[in-house]
Each structure stands twice: as structure tokens, then as C-alpha cells.
Amino acid sequence: MPMSLSEFERTVLPHRDALYGHALSLTRNADEAEDLVQETTLRALRGFESFRADGPVRAWLLTILRNLFINGYRARARAPHPVSLDALENPDPIVPTEPGPERQVFSRLENEALARAVANLPAEYREVLVLSDMRGMAYQEISEQLGIPVGTVRSRLSRARGRVRRALFAWRPDAQGTSKMGPSSQHLPA
């Protein structure tokens, strides 16, 4: 038999303080704790009809809260961590530095070499590489879009990345100071 909203309020809402305390101990952040309690309350409302009235309400709510926290934690752990390219170029944010003219030329040459390497890939490799690395699509999405198995997506992507890597290393001087252009004299620090 369906339970009413007033029954939900009478049964669940008295436990919000306990939920908040537990959420705060998990997240260690007041805003995240409040969001977690709100999401827990929403999930409890959605599943309230399936809740057994004779069961412990608080345990049920804490289980929902804990599962939401764990799922959120796992999702954040799997998500790529954003990195500021400015921070990589200039680790001291107080003293901004502009790249010198030689760095600007070198960056332009690197970008051109990368574009050439990608353009020179066979179409089947280039398509998978662009969808994965430039558009951020998951392997499964690429598989569905192109109508090929996920294993084929992975192998094409691996081969494409390998070819691009080899093309870029052929373009750049290697660690011993030689390049495709032949051996160079001793490199001086910039």
C-alpha cells in the first residue's frame, strides 16, 4: 500500500540531523554533507514505497547515505583530474612569466608536428584517436558509434597512439642529442 508524503515526513525527516552528522564525518565539508543529506532524502522518498514499515528507518537511511557517498567517491576517483596548463608552465602563480620567443616557436613546431602525425594516420586509426583523445568519448561509445567491437577500438587506439608517438619522437631530438637530422653538437641549456 502506498505511503503518503506526510508519513514520509513524519518517518524520515526527524533523522536529518543524524544523517547530517554522519555525512559531515564522511565528507569533512559542510556543503558536501548537506548535498549528501539532500540526495539521501530524495532517494529515500523515491524508494519509500518499498520500505518496510517494521524495519529500522535510521539504519535504512544511513545505508542509503553511505552508498551514495561511496558511489560518489568512486566516480571522483575514476574521473580525470583537471590540471592547469598554466600551473605546469609556471609553477609560481604570483610571478607570471610569458614564454620566451624560442618557446613559442618550439610550441608551434610541436603542434604542427602533432597535427601532421595525426593527419598521416590511416583513417581507421585517426577516427578512433580523434573520438577518444580529442572528443573524450569512452571506448564503449566509440564502439557503438563506429559499429566495431570494443577490442578493435582499443587495438586501433593503441596503434594510433604508438604511430603518433614514434612520429613525434622522430621529429624531436632524443635524449642522446641526436635526431633524424643527424647527430648534433652538445646541447646548451636554454
The predicted structure's pLDDT at residue 104: 81
- Give CA–CA dist 68/60, Å, rounded: 12
Question: Three-state SS across 20-38?
Answer: HHHHHHHHCCHHHHHHHHH
Note the pLDDT tens digit of each residue in 34-69. Answer: 999 999 999 988 887 776 666 788 888 988 999 999
Q: Examine the pLDDT at 183 and tell me if it is beyond 50.
A: no
> Do residues 28 and 75 lie in contact, with contact meaning Cβ atoms separated by under 8 Å?
no
Whole-number percent of the chain with pLDDT over 90: 23
- In three-state secondary structure terms, 184 is coil
DSSP at 174: -
- To the nearest whole number, what is the mean pLDDT of the chain? 79
